[in-house]
């Protein structure tokens, strides 16, 4: 069987790829940037795709010789283009599959992508699900299955990152009143379900809520992850809903407005239909955590995830204050002699002051807006400043206030945040 996995660069897509390859399937991985996938999965083929722009005509040559397609593509965020990726892009893919004679399509949707959907994320997924089902309701020409998972647990997943970040804090935040309900399914069980659906003989027309056997509250899940990381109990801190909404709106930390809305609405469903259809019972959260014990790297990752917004905010303040103070508050009589030491005076000095200050402000805003590469740009800019001042006033290295020595700390923090960008994919 030759399977095309769309959205293979994401958390679910990578695990589905690994499961299918281990089962001996021929796999092609499709993603916007497949170069890293080619290195991670050298035994698989890769191709470039972009659901936000690809049409039926774009998909036609890619589907030649493909027996089955698994659509794992999904985005979530305050500025995510759900309509183009989840809805229009997925519908173009499904239409192309039918036209190309693809025998089977598995759509990874979301629990809540039904008439009760409370977010744009849910509604966009539902439109794509409905379109796939309508193409062949009985699944006789093109077998289909729609899997609607609840919160998906597993190393590297956004949901696990959110709850482990909460779990490591000395005061454990409570989302809502701590009673929001979720029904986690482990990524291994979700990948196993995809494989079973692909291997099932005969026509396929199947819509399933992919949930584990046990519903838990957000408090219970956070406490379980805290114990998994080897940490003792911690006092709980209730977070009012307006504060949670503000944090999510500002994009601080791993939570988004959509994810918080989905959690508040509840994320549970009966597990019996899933078990009956696929012939196995998924792991409970406790069983899943016990099967994959935490290591030191898990604790470090959780702490970094919790600290990232704080570190980013502090570094942004350094850059913004440097740029704003230089332009608006620092006396000209103080700045001019320093510019003169590097050979700048008159209009050239003014231009350099504005250029440097605006560059500082741009780096600060880039950090706040989470622009990729902003920490590295800041590190490069700080290195340039340090080199210039070392050449013009090397005595500053011995200054008791350490104006140049402190640059090393800023450089180190910038490089650390740049390295942490890998967590965002």
Shared-domain flag, residues 94 and 167: yes
User: Which pLDDT value is given to residue 251?
Assistant: 62
Reported as a pLDDT band with limits 50, 70 and 90, residue 333 is confident
Sign of the torsion angle spanned by Cα atoms 369, 373, 379, 381 = negative
Of 262, 294, 326, which marks where a domain is finished? 294
Residue-averaged pLDDT of the chain: 91
* Segment 231-290, tens digit of pLDDT: 999 999 887 777 777 776 766 666 677 777 777 777 899 999 999 999 999 999 999 999
Shared-domain flag, residues 29 and 80: yes
User: Which pLDDT value is given to residue 336?
Assistant: 86
Domain that holds residue 405: 308-424
Three-state SS string over 214-239 comes to CCEEHHHHHHHHHHHCCCCCCCEEEC
Shared-domain flag, residues 385 and 271: no
Reported as a pLDDT band with limits 50, 70 and 90, residue 380 is very high
User: Which pLDDT value is given to residue 252?
Assistant: 60
In a domain, 227, yes or no: yes
Shared-domain flag, residues 54 and 148: yes
Q: Name the maximum alpha-carbon separation found in the chain.
A: 83
In a domain, 302, yes or no: no
Shared-domain flag, residues 242 and 317: no
| 8-state DSSP, 83 | I
Shared-domain flag, residues 200 and 92: yes
In a domain, 303, yes or no: no
Model pTM above 0.85: yes
In a domain, 299, yes or no: no
In a domain, 336, yes or no: yes
* Segment 157-205, tens digit of pLDDT: 988 998 999 999 999 888 877 788 999 999 999 999 999 999 999 899 9
Number of domains forming the structure of the chain: 2
Shared-domain flag, residues 387 and 264: no
User: Which pLDDT value is given to residue 354?
Assistant: 93
Shared-domain flag, residues 321 and 287: no
pLDDT of 315 > 80? The answer is yes
In a domain, 99, yes or no: yes
d(CA 61, CA 55): 11
d(CA 272, CA 356): 63
pLDDT of 313 > 60? The answer is yes
| CATH (domain of 63) | 3.40.50.720
Of 269, 294, 319, which marks where a domain is finished? 294
User: Which pLDDT value is given to residue 424?
Assistant: 54
């Amino acid at each position: 069987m030759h399977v095309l996995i769309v959205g293979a660069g994401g958390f679910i897509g990578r695990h589905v790829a690994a499961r299918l390859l281990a089962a001996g399937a021929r796999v092609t991985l499709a993603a916007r940037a497949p170069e890293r996938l080619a290195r991670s999965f050298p035994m698989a083929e890769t191709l470039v795709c972009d659901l936000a722009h690809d049409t039926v005509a774009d998909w036609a040559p890619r589907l030649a010789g493909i027996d089955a397609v698994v659509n794992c593509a999904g985005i979530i965020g305050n500025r995510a283009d759900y309509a183009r990726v989840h809805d229009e892009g997925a519908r173009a893919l499904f239409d192309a599959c039918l036209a190309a004679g693809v025998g089977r399509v598995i759509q990874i949707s979301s629990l809540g992508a039904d008439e009760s959907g409370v977010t744009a994320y849910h509604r966009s997924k539902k439109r794509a699900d409905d379109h796939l089902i309508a193409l062949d309701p009985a699944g006789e020409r093109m077998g289909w299955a729609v899997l609607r998972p609840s919160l998906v647990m597993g190393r590297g997943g956004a949901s696990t990152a959110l709850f482990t970040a909460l779990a490591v804090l000395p005061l454990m935040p409570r989302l809502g009143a701590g009673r929001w309900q979720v029904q986690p399914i482990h990524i291994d069980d979700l990948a196993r379900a995809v494989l079973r659906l692909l291997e099932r003989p005969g026509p396929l027309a199947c819509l399933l809520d992919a949930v584990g056997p046990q519903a838990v509250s957000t408090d219970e899940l956070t406490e379980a992850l805290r114990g998994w990381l080897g940490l003792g109990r911690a006092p709980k801190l209730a977070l009012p809903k307006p504060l949670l909404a503000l944090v999510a709106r500002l994009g601080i930390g791993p939570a988004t407005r959509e994810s918080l809305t989905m959690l508040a609405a509840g994320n549970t469903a009966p597990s019996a239909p899933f078990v009956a259809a696929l012939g196995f019972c998924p792991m409970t959260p406790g069983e899943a955590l016990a099967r994959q014990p935490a290591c030191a790297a898990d604790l470090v990752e959780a702490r970094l995830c919790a600290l990232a917004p704080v570190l980013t905010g502090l570094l942004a303040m350094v850059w913004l204050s440097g740029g704003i103070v230089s332009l608006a508050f620092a006396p000209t009589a103080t700045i001019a002699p320093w510019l003169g030491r590097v050979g700048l005076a008159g209009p050239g000095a003014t231009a350099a002051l504005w250029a440097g200050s605006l560059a500082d402000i741009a780096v600060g805003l880039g950090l706040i807006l989470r622009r990729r590469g902003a920490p590295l740009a800041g590190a490069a800019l700080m290195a340039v400043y340090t080199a210039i001042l070392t050449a013009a006033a090397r005595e500053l290295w011995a200054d008791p206030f350490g104006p140049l020595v402190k640059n090393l700390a800023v450089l180190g923090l910038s490089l650390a945040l740049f390295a942490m960008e890998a967590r965002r994919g």
